[in-house]
Structure 1
């Protein structure tokens, strides 16, 4: 079994599409390790804020099989591929890590570079896998988050899935 971490994001009808992604993942995998849901400003373009989270799963599926399922799930939920890379999207799923694989695997670069550059990926990953080690830089995800110094704002939001609160907004 491989431990896989998946980034999930949406900035169009966010609750609807994040729920659709969690429902699909729940149907495919025995157990989901789910981070808080974070709202963040769009990065790379002017657009509505995103909801982002990271989900951990154990699977026997290959990187190619996962990638194909995720692309199909995105398409089934209205994801358009004929728009600029940095643009609004209904649903975005990315394989962040697949065990400790490094390099191009089945057309997917592992680990995904956004782990080290985007708060909306690193913070939820550090939340659910704090002691796991990045397979290239050799640092724990909680250490990487504590050292993160880019100016990307994000905050946890209340989010209910399958009738239970899986994420709570920060108290002010």
Structure 2
């Protein structure tokens, strides 16, 4: 019994993917910041450290904003959700504007290579989560409870009834005559 609980591995599924990616992203950000501090201490160039801190921080804030917008999209009962698309578009334009301002006007404060390398922290985290999911096997990604929930939501039992003998729909539809 104890061996089973100790040997239980972390399984990426729909529920904890966002948490896994944000934690790995934070880990990469701290790793990049540590490397930037070492380079700053060796070379004495603060631009690498400031570019790494600003780019990685911007990446993590961007990911958190997308996560919160996604939560609002899925929790909103309205069918039309175009205002969330405009919110995502506005967030994207602010991100592009900050990148443009960094490259054009603030290049004396930030190292551009360090900025864009640390800006891609979340991309590295998503790649790591994907490799981990492939390594653990695709059958483990979707758990049984989620499959049951999908069957209830989509209604796979009702889909197959049309092919079974003696099936009669419960309500008459105008499309039954076609």
| Structure holding more strand per residue | 1
Higher relative contact order (CA 8 A, sep 6+): 2
Check whether TM > 0.5: no
TM-score normalised by L of structure 2: 0.25
TM-score normalised by L of structure 1: 0.25
| Structure holding more helix per residue | 2
Structure of higher CA gyration radius: 2
